[in-house]
Structures are given as C-alpha cells and as structure tokens.
Amino acid sequence: MQKVCIVGASGKLGRYMVQHALDRGYQVVGVCRERSVGKLDAFRGHITIIPGFTNDRAVIQQAVAGCDGVLAVLVPWGANHYATGTAQAVLDYARPGARLIFSCGWHITRDGQDVYPASLKREEVLARWLGRLTRMVDIDDQIAACRRVFTSDARWTVVRGSDLEEGESQGLPVWSRHVGDPILTSNLTRRVDYALFMVAALENDTLVHEAPAIVGCQTPSALAAGRAMRA
C-alpha cells in the first residue's frame, strides 16, 4: 500500500484517518467540500487535497487515480443521495483490485442477522422521521449506499461503528460479524480508534467482504469477552 485516498477527509473521522495513514508512510489524497479545506490546515504540505463534494464523480475519478486503497466516509446528509453517489463513484473509479474501506454505523445490516438493542431501533426510527421532515438526513440513502457496496465485486470492507467518543487511543477495536454478539454490548468506540481500524483494514485481507461491527478494545464488554475466551 503506497497511495491512499480519503473521501470525507475534513470530518472528525477523516482527520484521524489522515493522521494514521501518514503515520504508516502512505501518500495521502484527501477529498472534502471546498468550504472545509481549512479544516485540513494541520496537514498542509503533507497531503494532496482535492476540494469538492464527495458524490461529484469527476472529483472522485481524479482523487482515486493511482490509489491502492480508498477510505470513504459514508454520511446520511441531505436529500440528494449523497451517500449512494459517493459510494458509487468510489466503486466505479477506484482501480480494479484496490482496497476499499467504507464507514457507517451499526444500523446497517449486511445479512439481516443483527440483533439490535431497542434503543438503537428507536433512534433509527426517530432519525428517519426527522430526516424526512427536515430533508437534512437520509438514513435510507446510507443503507442503499452500503447495499451497493455489498453487492459489488470490489475488494471492500464496510466498517460499522458503534456510538463514538473522543479521547486518547486505546488500541485497535475488536469486532463481530453481528450486532447482538455480547462482545459489542458496551456500544462505544473512541473515534481515533475507529479511524485506526479503517486504516488497518487496508492491509488486512481477512476483512475483505466483511462488515465488521466494532467496539473499543478496553470497553467492559470487550474485556469480558477476552476473559471468557482465556478461561
């Protein structure tokens, strides 16, 4: 892995991914909205920035050219199919064989085998309802974006994030194929470690065609699962 593109580089997750990617010695190309370029000032001179909307196909075509991997933040913002447009452009223009890593939340299910806490289902219903009312959020578009990824032949991984918090890194999160696995019960990950998992997935072929649901490795549920495995 030499050159990676980070789509949505100016967001909180994106900036952590930029740092992790630079720490690994990768050449980094970042895509972010023109108005957000300033949020990447700390990396000026260290990364190439291509300003533009992440669902702009010409922007993505230019940004992913020559990249061995693409890290794409899928967000449910707006009412113009932003997430599906972003995912499709990445799938269409990344070079064949490139590692493609997408972010989303636990609410996305790949095979319908996830067992969700009632609170999470309530949050999703509320977000869908509010989103339709305000036209600011479109959860179903993020779901549709992931469907496109799941059915593609690309070498993808969809990393499903738990609730997030800020704070120092605790190390690589642990993961499960399905929400409902006791290891995930704590439902909390440091955002810096979510980014770490995304970047580490670039070189982890065991995660190709997986949709890991992650949780912080120091959370009570992760520690309890570790103890149970050792016992």
Ligand X SMILES: NC(=O)c1ccc[n+]([C@@H]2O[C@H](COP(=O)([O-])OP(=O)(O)OC[C@H]3O[C@@H](n4cnc5c(N)ncnc54)[C@H](OP(=O)(O)O)[C@@H]3O)[C@@H](O)[C@H]2O)c1
* Per-residue binding letters, 191-230, with ligand X (x by CB under 6 A): x---------------------------------------
* Cα-trace Rg, the chain: 17
Q: Using the rule CB under 6 A, is 11 a contact of ligand X?
A: yes
Q: Which residue among 17, 59, 67, 75 contacts ligand X (CB under 6 A)?
A: 75
Among 4, 6, 10, 143, binds ligand X (CB under 6 A): 10
Binding-site member from 19, 103, 157, 221 for ligand X (CB under 6 A): 103
Of positions 4, 5, 6, 14, contacts ligand X by CB under 6 A: 14
What distances in angstroms separate CA 78 from CA 55, 107, 132, 212, 229, one per listed residue? 12, 18, 10, 26, 43
Spatial separation of the C-alpha atoms in residues 70 and 49, rounded to whole Å: 14
8 binds ligand X (CB under 6 A): yes
Q: Exactly one of 144, 164, 172, 200 binds ligand X (CB under 6 A); which one?
A: 164
145 binds ligand X (CB under 6 A): no
The site for ligand X, by CB under 6 A, has a size of 23
Using CB under 6 A as the binding rule, whether residue 78 contacts ligand X is answered as yes
Nearest to 227 by CA among 191, 24, 217, 215: 217
Q: Min. distance of Cβ 75 from ligand X in angstroms? A: 4
Of the candidate residues 28, 104, 158, 184, the single one contacting ligand X (CB under 6 A): 104
Check residue 13 for interaction with ligand X (CB under 6 A): yes
Q: Which stretch binds ligand X (CB under 6 A): 121-129, 157-165, 167-175, 198-206?
A: 157-165
- Give the integer Cα–Cα distance in Å for 200 and 197: 5
> Could you list the residues that contact ligand X (CB under 6 A)?
8, 10-14, 32-33, 36, 39, 73-75, 77-78, 82, 103-105, 161, 163-164, 191
